[in-house]
Amino acid sequence: MLKDFNFKKIIQGRLFKGDEIISEITKILKEKSITSGLISGIGAVSKVKIGYYDQKKRQYISKEFCEPMEILSLKGNISLKDGEPFAHIHIILSKEDYSTIGGHLFEASVFAFEFEIIELDGIPSERGYDEDTGLFLWKC
């Protein structure tokens, strides 16, 4: 399945200490009616909840890490889920000992966060339940 989009614009922004990344990004997407795009960011967090998808059990195993960490890379895509803008985001973090962890991002408490949203122009992709994986993937 391939779709063509045109570049629309880039929004650059930051969040503030104590903000939660997923809820703030979702709020921005809804306010600006962004339904297709990409997101990337760097910064630092005080706490995260990330997930690993167990392909056999077909469910996310999530874990919280409550310690200061650097966001080495946060990236994701923006589409529609249940008719609303939805950001699917993954993250790689580094700990004090320089080891890294990563996964599907459920929640993150910001210490500092700078991001770019690349808005795309085209017919937005819509997520729907996928029988083969148990995930909500792009249907069209």
Residues of this chain that interact with Zn ion (CB under 5 A) are 104
Q: Which is nearer to Zn ion, 7 or 61 (CB)?
A: 61
Q: Which is nearer to Zn ion, 75 or 104 (CB)?
A: 104
Q: How far is the CB of 135 from Zn ion (least distance, A)?
A: 8
Residue 41 CB partners (closer than 8 Å, separation 6+): 21, 71, 74, 75, 113, 114, 115, 116
Tokens of 66: 């409550």
User: Can you say how many angstroms the Cα of residue 96 is from the centroid of all Cα atoms in its chain?
Assistant: 23
Q: How far is the CB of 81 from Zn ion (least distance, A)?
A: 12
Helix and strand counts by DSSP (H, E) for the chain: 1, 8
Q: Which is nearer to Zn ion, 77 or 109 (CB)?
A: 77
Task: Tell me which residue has its CB nearest to Zn ion.
Answer: 104
Q: How far is the CB of 72 from Zn ion (least distance, A)?
A: 17
Nearest one of 95, 88, 87, 41 to 65, comparing CA atoms: 95
Residue 11 corresponds to which amino acid? I
Q: Which is nearer to Zn ion, 8 or 104 (CB)?
A: 104
Q: How far is the CB of 51 from Zn ion (least distance, A)?
A: 7
